[in-house]
Homo-oligomer: A and B are copies of this chain.
Amino acid sequence: MKMKDDWIVSDNSLNEKDLLKSESIFNVANGYIGIRGNFEEGYADNMPTIRGSYINAFYETASVSYGEKAYGYPETMQKIVNVTDSQDIDLIINNQKFSMFKGTVKSFNRYVNMKEGYYRREADYVFPDGKEIKLKITRVASFKYLELFAINYEIEKVNFDDDIIIKSRINGDVKNYVDKMDMRVSSGNENILDVKSTSVQNDVIQVLSETKSSKQSVAVNTKHMCSGEFHVSYDKEEKSVMAVFKVKPGNKIIEFNKYNIYTDSRRCKDPAKKGYTLINKICTLSFNEILKSQQNYLKRFWSTADIDNEGDLALKQGLRYNMYEILQSAGKDSVSNISAKGLSGEGYEGHYFWDSEIYILPFLTLCSPQIAKKLLRYRYTILDSARKRARELGHKKGAAYAWRTINGEECSSYFPAGTAQYHINGDIAYSYIQYYLVTGDMDFIKEFGAEVIFETARIWIEIGHYDNGLFKIDSVTGPNEYTTLVNNNYYTNVLAKYNLQWAVKIYNMLKEKDSSFLSSLCSKINLSEDEITGFQKAAQSMYLPYDSNLKINAQDDTFLSKAIWDFQHTPKDNYPLLLHYHPLTIYRYQVLKQPDTVLAHFLVENETNYETMKNSYDYYEKITTHDSSLSYAVYSIMASKLNYYDKAYKYFIKTARLDLDDTNGNTKDGIHTANMGGTWMAIVFGFAGLRIKEDYIALNPKLPVQWNKLQFKFLYKGAKVKVTMAKSETKIQVRTKVPINLKVNDKMHSIANDSIICEKI
């Protein structure tokens, strides 16, 4: 049964494959902790499960093995840890253990409520001996109290009134998931967390654990609250503690609360002590109070983030789910970022990629700038690691951000599709610049942005060179990882140019507005005005490949001379190609995993003209496999731009329910956060044609014919902007004191507390 509410996502299948997927879909997370949607009592014996609880940026280290190692390869990798399991609850009635796979399930429903911020499982269930219960299990990872994972376990006795036994366990005996066959998942190191102590003190259960190698510790402090008359005992073992509640007859409904506080040594000195203090404070809150605080938080979030498209239910669910998951996934403490799978699974080992900057930050920057700021600050905290990496790579100056990392150190052990993606430097600089353009927050740029932008810009000078007056950048890999180690990747060069240009602009702005700050920063990082002149010259001379026959921007110097992949004779089962062909085979052809030049055309559109964009789109789309979940959104956005309305909608639809429908077949390993940000981008940058310009924002609304209406909001330089696109017209309402510049369909407006109505052109 799928619930007909557009704030609800539900899935009630009990099939093995669906259950694995649902574990990811029904994760509850808040950017700090994330718990997969496992069943408290587990499944039937031998049914596969990936039971997981994660803390953002809490990682284990392990040495990396190489068949043939070379200079500068990372020696240590990081991986997110499956931490102490606090999901475990068993219900026993008349010696029968509750299981959805024994007895009779009369009805079953599970869903996430995105308006109220909880996940719930409901069942009407008959034990083999005929005793019937109604179960309602509600889970919350609190946005207000980030350390809290709460379970409300409600049992209604339908046709009996016996003793019931509830066994609730905090289990430190956990393993990470490994899959030796899929390179997108970790292939080793499952046993990485040791339990250091277990205890029970004043009904607070505590399990303190430590990672074997990185020596990071995590504490879980748990307290139970139970209605009715009961007797509780504790079974303390070496790696786990079980609370056993014998609840006497008398109450038809038993309410059982389990509050778990997660604390870790990356955020505080003594996690055990901090957690113990916190649980004693938080246990005074009723579950309803916790739910209420979730509602409040989400009300504020949705007040800007929500999109109303008056479309079909499934689509609306998809849109909201994607925004909700970004909120659940985004680190909110500057220690953490957004991992490729959020906190919903172990795919890509909990690493942060450029996904955060290019696919997710646009939504947060425009709708939740406070969270965006935390994520940008995270990149500032790892700037020193990026400087160190630059030295390892032989660069005398600047910072080279790691392609994949948790703590800032490079974790990519395959450099042609990792470290060679120097564009991540440009991506990070780009996200700082976009944040500045959207918020106008010059203080933030001073405090954090300028340094990041200068240091990233320096790398282009290090790796580039002049050739006949043109500035060229060799031996890099662009976003399309199906082609590696090329010269003059268009995307990289465009982003490098943007980075260099903005380094110059910011230098000049600071020079004008706060020269004493500038001189202290310059002396801190030893930056001279000559270097800035060098930035300017390189930007002006940047070589951007263009093929005059095809009239497109070439992906790199040699891409277009390769043979085109034989799509016609490639069986459907052979996608994604990376799982079925040797890299050399893939590299030999013109074939794209995801947009590369087309993405550059979206991000920095002024570098080329409409005609070239259109030709490029036509050319590259045909040879794109969309094997990456980062693909559809960009093709949708650019299709809108190029008036390919059908394509814009078709690709958008693919992004909107990619995880709910498990389009890529690997949602079991976690949701695809970048694609989720892409959904929002496909609407706002795509259908509405929003672009952030240097002194204004531009809109170019193109409502999909499938819809009657599209409404969304965002914040721009302190103004609240609400855009309502209808069949006949678009209405833009702005609430602000200081007027903002807004260009709609190429007409510029300066507008404060007012609205504009533009008829459809």
Residues of A participating in the B interface, judged by any CB pair closer than 8 Å: 64-74, 77, 183, 187, 392-394, 412-420, 463, 465, 467, 472, 474-475, 484-485, 487, 557-558, 561-563, 578-585, 587-588
A70 touching B484, Cβ below 8 Å: no
B487 touching A562, Cβ below 8 Å: yes
A77 touching B67, Cβ below 8 Å: yes
A487, B559: Cα distance in complex, Å = 9
- Known pairs A66-B67, A557-B558. 13 more at Cβ < 8 A? A66-B187, A67-B413, A68-B413, A70-B582, A70-B583, A71-B582, A72-B584, A393-B584, A394-B585, A420-B584, A474-B587, A474-B588, A557-B557
A187, B69: Cα distance in complex, Å = 9
Chain B's closest residue to A564 (CB) is B465
Hey, which chain B residues are within 8 Å of A71, CB to CB?
A: 578-583
Hey, which chain B residues are within 8 Å of A474, CB to CB?
A: 558, 561-563, 587-588
Hey, which chain B residues are within 8 Å of A66, CB to CB?
A: 65-67, 187, 413-414
Hey, which chain B residues are within 8 Å of A412, CB to CB?
A: 67-68
A587 touching B77, Cβ below 8 Å: no
Closest chain B CB from A76 CB (angstroms): 10
A420, B484: Cα distance in complex, Å = 13
| A393 and B585 contact, Cβ closer than 8 Å, known pairs A465-B563, A563-B474 | yes
B68 touching A183, Cβ below 8 Å: yes
A69, B562: Cα distance in complex, Å = 25
A417, B66: Cα distance in complex, Å = 14
Grouping DSSP codes into helix (H, G, I), strand (E, B) and loop, the A interface class, with mixed when no group exceeds half, is loop
Closest chain B CB from A80 CB (angstroms): 16
A582 touching B67, Cβ below 8 Å: no
Q: Which 8 A-B pairs have the closest CB atoms?
A: A67-B413, A65-B65, A72-B582, A465-B563, A475-B588, A68-B414, A64-B67, A394-B585
Closest chain B CB from A422 CB (angstroms): 9
Chain B's closest residue to A465 (CB) is B563
Chain B's closest residue to A590 (CB) is B474
Hey, which chain B residues are within 8 Å of A465, CB to CB?
A: 562-563
Closest chain B CB from A588 CB (angstroms): 4
A-B contact pairs, 25 of them (CB 8 A): A64-B67, A66-B414, A67-B77, A67-B412, A67-B414, A68-B418, A70-B183, A70-B583, A71-B578, A71-B582, A393-B582, A415-B584, A416-B416, A416-B485, A419-B582, A419-B584, A463-B588, A465-B563, A467-B561, A474-B561, A474-B563, A475-B587, A484-B485, A487-B562, A558-B558
Hey, which chain B residues are within 8 Å of A578, CB to CB?
A: 70-71
Hey, which chain B residues are within 8 Å of A583, CB to CB?
A: 70-72, 415
Chain B's closest residue to A392 (CB) is B582
Closest chain B CB from A401 CB (angstroms): 14
Closest chain B CB from A467 CB (angstroms): 6
A557, B558: Cα distance in complex, Å = 8
Hey, which chain B residues are within 8 Å of A418, CB to CB?
A: 68
Chain B's closest residue to A556 (CB) is B558
Closest chain B CB from A24 CB (angstroms): 22
The contact of A394 among B65, B393, B414, B581, by CB within 8 Å, is B581
Closest chain B CB from A389 CB (angstroms): 10
Chain B's closest residue to A77 (CB) is B67
A485, B420: Cα distance in complex, Å = 13
The contact of A561 among B69, B417, B419, B557, by CB within 8 Å, is B557
Hey, which chain B residues are within 8 Å of A588, CB to CB?
A: 463, 474-475
